[in-house]
Amino acid sequence: MQEKFYLTTAIDYVNGAPHIGHAYEKILSDVIIRHKRQIVDNAYMLTGTDEHGVKIQKTAAAKGITPKELCDENFSKFDQAWKELEISYDQIIRTTDEQHRKVVGQIFKKLLENGDIYKHSYTGLYCSGCEAFLNPKDLTEDGLCPDHLKKPEEVTEENYFFKLTKYKDKIAEYIKSHPDFIQPAIRVNEILNQLENIEDISVSRTKSSVQWGIGVPGDETQTIYVWIDALSNYITAIGYDVENPSDKFKTLWPADVHVIGKDIIKFHSIYWIAILMALDLPLPKSIFAHGWITIDQSKMSKSLGNVIAPHDVLVSFNLEKPDAFRYYMASAALTGKDGNYSDEDFKEKVNADLANNIGNLLNRSLNMLVKYFDGEIKPEFVSDKNDKIAVLASNTKCQIIECFNKFEVAEAANLIVSFADSVNKYVTENAPWTLAKDGKMLECGKVLYNVLEAMRHIAILLYPYCPNIAQDILIQLNEKVDFKYDNLIWVGLKPAKITEKEMIKPVFLRLDSEFATDKKKGK
């Protein structure tokens, strides 16, 4: 039994409001941590916001407010969005938190004293969008930043540099000897290739360039740059201190997984790992890089006007609970691949999987139990664990655990739907209505028991994606709401009168395409 599981998300830059891409990562992370809580007692999720840098400084100045006021304003938007999506984080860190600022200063000082940081005059190509110096070979043919399609400016500064090259061989050796460290595996060669041409990195900027940040200890002319500031949140949040780390840090670190977007995998699997090596700290067990979410097959862009806020999707479809959106986003892309959001696909998928498949299966099974047995499961209906559906339930559970061990969130969702498909097929093949018509009530009762017990399993398996729907399923089965995997044993549903006609309600209403279209048009 695993004693703990510590998951972190990337921290979001609060230069604007959250969009569907931010939501995708947080939902993925939340589904993983909810699954782990079903198995591990101490499963902990950290998320947060990145609140320093020149972009925030400039945006705040343009709005006539202080950088901290801008950060406070936008932080509240992110935090509200995660509450609305029921992201069950245990802690949310802000890089403007005083404790974080203090420990980042300690980290910088220690690296400097150890000889891992040195001061150096440097001329390079700086992209304000990336807030990073770019290598000329990484630019487009027109000399533009490939992400922001803008020409970086040539900047000459005297900054502090971290000796990244010192750890190059050690990082490569570690990656090669730990095949599960970078996931999915398709990213490994990408990182190893980037390591080949790695250079030392700037870890400070002059105060004249970046005022909004954490000052370099003992040097009033410099501001600590993003790499040490932002990346260190994973340890400062849980009580890391250079001299006296907390018991919480000792318990949770190393992280079991950093969940990040594929665009920042280099910083996590090279820069962050080198910093940890320099601090002589254990390395995270894995780094999972997810893909991007496009909108109607186009990359999100303010200029295209296709940036969608998660709140707008909930409002557009009149969703009081976020389960349908959570399920769709979590199953939008196979591991590491890009996914796509469209209104039409959203409606079709959640209607097919949640309403027609899972919801309808529960509804008609409970109605038959009421019709034929007054809502009662009799002792003689309870089947043994060797039943076809019982074996399939056990196999599905094991496959889902294996999927989550590899962070295959969409694949695990597909297994749940596939299991529900099999149970629906089982109902059709065994036709309990025909058995009742022919007077074979014992056989009819056994079939219905198997279906409802399977529904109990489906509720527990579905919980990380759809916590409210899962709870409603267990309530309709008159079951205690407990989603621990310890409860995934066959014949958990005990003989009793579990329901009456008036208690049976759909656990998920179909999204009405006409209504949804009208809502978008503002009718």
The 10 Å CB-count burial string (b at 16+, else e) for 153-185 is eebebebbbbbbeebbeebbeebeeeeebbbbe
Alpha helices by DSSP H, listed for 406-506, are 409-430, 432-437, 441-462, 467-476
Strands 496-497 and 12-13: unpaired
Q: Could you tell me if 359 and 508 are in contact, meaning their C-beta atoms sit under 8 angstroms apart?
A: yes
- Burial bucket for residue 468 (CB in 10 Å: 0-12, 13-18, 19+): middle
- Is residue 444 annotated as a catalytic residue, yes or no? no
- Is residue 71 annotated as a catalytic residue, yes or no? no
* Angle at alpha carbon of residue 22, lines to 19 and 23, rounded to 5°: 85
Q: How far apart are CA 48 and CA 50, in angstroms?
A: 7
- Is residue 302 annotated as a catalytic residue, yes or no? yes
CA atoms within 13 A on the CB side of 226: 22
- Out of 299, 371, 484, 520, which one is annotated catalytic? 299
Token digits of residue 85? 């999506």
- Is residue 148 annotated as a catalytic residue, yes or no? yes
- Out of 63, 83, 148, 520, which one is annotated catalytic? 148
* Angle at alpha carbon of residue 89, lines to 87 and 92, rounded to 5°: 115
Q: Shortest CA distance to 365 belongs to which of 252, 444, 266? A: 444
- Out of 4, 119, 130, 337, which one is annotated catalytic? 130
Place of tokens 């557009």: 316
- Out of 36, 71, 100, 145, which one is annotated catalytic? 145
3-state secondary structure 7-41: EEECCEECCCCCCHHHHHHHHHHHHHHHHHHCCCC
- Is residue 178 annotated as a catalytic residue, yes or no? no
- Out of 22, 36, 262, 290, which one is annotated catalytic? 22
- Out of 36, 52, 127, 403, which one is annotated catalytic? 127
Q: Could you tell me if 493 and 456 are in contact, meaning their C-beta atoms sit under 8 angstroms apart?
A: yes
- Is residue 130 annotated as a catalytic residue, yes or no? yes
- Is residue 403 annotated as a catalytic residue, yes or no? no
Q: Shortest CA distance to 259 belongs to which of 399, 147, 409, 131? A: 409
> Please, which residues have CB within 8 angstroms of residue 95's CB and are 6 or more apart in sequence?
11, 48, 49, 50, 51, 52, 101, 229, 230, 233
- Is residue 145 annotated as a catalytic residue, yes or no? yes
Which residues are marked as active site?
19, 22, 127, 130, 145, 148, 299, 302
